[in-house]
Chain A
Amino acid sequence: MMWNFSSFGNNTALIDDSGKKYTYSELDTAGKQLADAVGKRCLVFSFCLNSPGSVIGYTSFINHGIVPALLSAHLEKDLRKDLIETYKPSFIWAPSDMEGEFDGYEKVYSAYDYVLMKAANGSDAKLHEDLALLLTTSGSTGSPKFVRQSYENIKSNTESIIEYLNIDSSERAITTLPMNYTYGLSIINTHLMAGATIILTEKTLMQKEFWELFKKEEATSFGGVPYTYEMLDRLRFFRMDLPSLRYMTQAGGKLTPELHKKFAEHSIENGREFIVMYGQCEATARMGYLPAEYSVAKYGSMGIAIPGGKLLIIDVDGKEIEEPEVSGELVYEGPNVTLGYAECAEDLSKGDERNGRLETGDMAKRDEDGFYYIVGRKKRFLKIFGNRTNLDEVDRMIKTEFGNVDCTSGGVDDCLYIFVTDDNLVEPVKKFVVEKTGFHHSAIKVVKLDEIPKNDSGKVLYKELEKYYS
């Protein structure tokens, strides 16, 4: 069992939008009933919201050896259909209002505004015994790829985070991130293991109802991606009266050093903590964190390895770089390094392919005191509002849709640039990418070029595209 709910009995585990409370005992009982309705170890697609039904489903599946794949309830319909066809889950757990949306699935159970639907022809794909959970890494670009996480991955990462953030049963985190997103999920995992409370809401920071709930239920912490902190800054967060708030965490991309410093200083002045963290879905959730006491002195840094893990930097030959201030690829070793990827149902029977070591794709350096700083990227990806977006997959998605047209992509975090050579493609490509990824249209720019700069062997010269990223 991942979580021992019965040991926290009458503690409040969840509070929903309306202020309704759910105890740990209730979570325990509801989880057992749902697991009985599923009846066996199998694959379940769980369509997530920040709501009690969603959390109860997830914790029930994990605690009873049922393997959930967590997906957004708002996932674009074609992508959803592709994923279901690829993996043929035995069951679907979805918000009740989605009941009629799945062909070939029939309702067998319902609770907490969620329905359990059974496949008429579910495949009984073999699931490796260590496999606990599937999460998307770049689902937004339509690739049917999941990260395979084991029970040991989740348990070790959860315990490590509880240790370095000192989470105890008095904490009351409010949700600001989707629970199918690894960072949002880690907040749920940790609080439920510590016997603490999670305030669940689908409202955003830009809504009055969010802040009313925050104050009424006395939230003590929240997490955010860089964009969250830009919004908070814009909302003049520093003038808000939030006496219950104890600490804030940040992950999902690199915050500008200026904002890092601003939030760190303001937190200290107000007796709070601001903790910048580093992680990836491929490492369950977290790999590094900057302890709050260094948040000002080392602003701009992603910190040190989490308890139980190790960070190192390697050169192009894979050799460890020992001296400070030299950049190379950041590598992480620890029990939370996930098993590997799955790209089809057969991959779910695979065991551990990484042996506890992950090459992150981020370029980093270490200062003389041992703190790490992200300086760039080795692989072609961007973080769009905290979502790792693989640029090769963006290219492939466009070429698939528009018939192998000449195009490429690039950009900076929170702004994806797509380059095409046909004026008539500018609008349709933008519309297509907005629809498929769900990213806000302001984060996607399509630029028409006379030709895409390439070298003699036809490789795109990405450096030459950088002048367009204004």
Chain B
Amino acid sequence: MSNKEKYNQAFMETLEVSENELAGLTYTGIPAWDSVGHMALMAAVEDAFDIMMETDDIIDFSSYEKGMEILSKKYDVEF
């Protein structure tokens, strides 16, 4: 699985969304991405890439796109 696929998978499984809904998705933009959903999503992303994210990055992870930016800049995940 490519990194993009792994990343998408984490969103689709924890937030119960389909692939075509991912672009532009933001925190609290859908009911499932609330603080509970965010915890689950962060755990899934960490598992998928075998990383431990810093607090600042967890609270900055405010959209689908922002997450990719954080992962590629700070955790060497190439998309």
Contacts and interface: CB of A to CB of B under 8 A. Distances in A.
B31 interface: yes
Interface of A: 204-208, 210-211, 227, 230-231, 234-236, 239-240, 385, 434, 438, 440-443
Contact of A204 (B14, B16, B34): B34
Given A206-B38, A234-B58, A236-B55, 18 more contacts: A204-B35, A205-B35, A205-B59, A206-B58, A207-B62, A208-B62, A210-B59, A231-B39, A234-B39, A234-B42, A235-B58, A235-B59, A239-B55, A440-B31, A440-B32, A441-B32, A442-B37, A443-B36
Contacts of B39: 206, 230-231, 234
Given A206-B27, A441-B16, A442-B14, A211 B36 contact: no
A208 B60 contact: yes
A210 B55 CA distance: 13
Given A441-B16, A442-B14, A442-B40, A206 B55 contact: no
A146 B71 CA distance: 47
Given A204-B34, A234-B39, A441-B32, A240 B55 contact: yes
A47 B31 CA distance: 19
| A-B complex: 8 closest residue pairs judged by Cβ atoms | A440-B36, A206-B38, A208-B59, A204-B35, A206-B35, A235-B55, A236-B55, A208-B60
A184 B45 CA distance: 32
Contacts of A208: 56, 59-60, 62
Interface in B44-79: 55-56, 58-60, 62
B67 to A, nearest CB: 13
Nearest to A442: B40
B38 to A, nearest CB: 4
A206 B32 contact: no
25 contacts: A204-B35, A206-B35, A206-B39, A206-B59, A207-B27, A207-B59, A208-B60, A208-B62, A211-B59, A230-B39, A231-B39, A234-B42, A235-B58, A236-B55, A240-B55, A385-B36, A434-B31, A438-B31, A440-B31, A440-B34, A441-B16, A441-B32, A442-B14, A442-B36, A442-B40
Nearest to A435: B31
A385 B37 CA distance: 13
A234 B43 CA distance: 9
Between B34, B40, B42, B59, the greatest number of chain A beta carbons within 10 A of the residue's beta carbon is seen for B59
Nearest to A234: B39
Contacts of A211: 59
Contacts of B34: 204, 440
A418 B60 CA distance: 35
A261 to B, nearest CB: 21
A227 B31 CA distance: 18
Nearest to A207: B59
A206 B28 CA distance: 11
Nearest to A212: B59
B34 to A, nearest CB: 6
Contacts of A434: 31
Contacts of A385: 36
B7 to A, nearest CB: 19
B62 A440 contact: no
A235 B40 CA distance: 12
Contacts of B16: 441
B61 to A, nearest CB: 8
A243 B4 CA distance: 39
A351 to B, nearest CB: 40
Nearest to B58: A235
B74 to A, nearest CB: 15
A231 B55 contact: no
B49 to A, nearest CB: 17
A231 B55 CA distance: 11
Contacts of B36: 227, 385, 440, 442-443
A412 to B, nearest CB: 15
Contacts of A236: 55
A227 B39 CA distance: 11
A231 B60 contact: no
A153 to B, nearest CB: 31
Contacts of A443: 36
Contact of A231 (B32, B35, B62): B35
